[in-house]
């Protein structure tokens, strides 16, 4: 029994570590509280707007994921006279993070609680090193517009930081769209 438990832990720990390294998607949404979401039955997709950092392949993945999620939620696609239009905007930005590490040690100093008697001013020594880290921040904004009034009725945003593009973009994009649209009021 003990050998089986140890074997399970040896197999489970690398899997847990792998899943914990995935970028964390932060999702937020807002909506028009006066909109009647129960009246919406059909949808149409609008054009994805990107800042040229998103490939055509990923644009297609985003559209397919949005379409699949809307159909799964019971909406019917209608390009002629939809109740709502779904638009998506993607943005990828290069970002930098600076961190500092200090290795100071010693006693005393003019601003220390022990006063000068504990070692005198300027006795603390050490070094400070700075490290710059480059990463990317990707955001996907999904807008839902009432087709008849041409009014924005819902907006969901998902943002994540990552160092390199994912190995399986289909899975990452599908999961992101699903999490963002999970906040869309069902109303039906």
Residue 57 has pLDDT above 80, yes or no: yes
- Who has greater pLDDT, 154 or 25? 154
Question: What local confidence, expressed as pLDDT, does residue 138 receive?
Answer: 80
For residue 24, pLDDT beyond 70: yes
Q: What's the mean per-residue pLDDT of the chain?
A: 76
Q: Which residue has the higher pLDDT, 125 or 75?
A: 75
CA–chain centroid gap for 111, Å, is 43
pLDDT tens, 134-161? Answer: 767 788 999 999 999 999 999 999 998 8
Which residue shows structure tokens 């644009």? Answer: 59
What share of the chain in percent tops pLDDT 70? 66
Are residues 83 and 147 in contact, defined by beta-carbon separation less than 8 angstroms? yes
Q: Name residue, tokens 């700075």.
A: 130
pLDDT score at 177? 95
What pTM, to 2 d.p., does this model score?
0.67
Mean pLDDT, residues 114-127 taken together: 55
Give residue 155's Cα distance to chain centre. 15
> CA 151 → CA 93, 163, 182, distances in Å?
28, 37, 21
pLDDT the model gives residue 114: 53
Q: What are the tokens at 85?
A: 């239009």
Going along the chain from its start, the domains and CATH numbers come out as 22-94+135-181 (3.30.160.670)
Q: Please report which confidence band the pLDDT of residue 5 belongs to, taking 50, 70 and 90 as the band edges.
A: very low
Residue pair 63/45 in contact by the 8 Å Cβ criterion = yes
């Amino acid at each position: 029994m003990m050998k089986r438990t140890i074997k399970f832990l040896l197999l489970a720990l690398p899997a847990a570590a792998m899943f914990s390294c995935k970028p964390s998607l932060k999702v937020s949404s807002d909506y028009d509280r006066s909109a009647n979401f129960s009246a919406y039955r059909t949808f149409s997709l609008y054009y994805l707007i990107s800042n040229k950092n998103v490939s055509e392949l990923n644009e297609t993945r985003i559209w397919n994921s949005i379409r699949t999620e809307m159909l799964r939620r019971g909406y019917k696609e209608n390009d002629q006279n939809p109740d709502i239009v779904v638009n998506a905007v993607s943005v990828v930005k290069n970002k930098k993070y600076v961190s500092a590490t200090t290795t100071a040690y010693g006693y005393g100093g003019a601003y220390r609680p022990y006063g000068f008697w504990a070692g005198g001013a300027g006795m603390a020594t050490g070094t400070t090193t700075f490290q710059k880290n480059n990463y990317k921040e990707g955001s996907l904004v999904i807008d839902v517009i009432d087709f008849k009034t041409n009014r924005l009725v819902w907006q969901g945003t998902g943002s994540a930081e990552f160092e390199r593009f994912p190995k399986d973009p289909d899975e990452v994009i599908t999961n992101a769209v699903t999490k963002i649209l999970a906040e869309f009021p069902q109303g039906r």
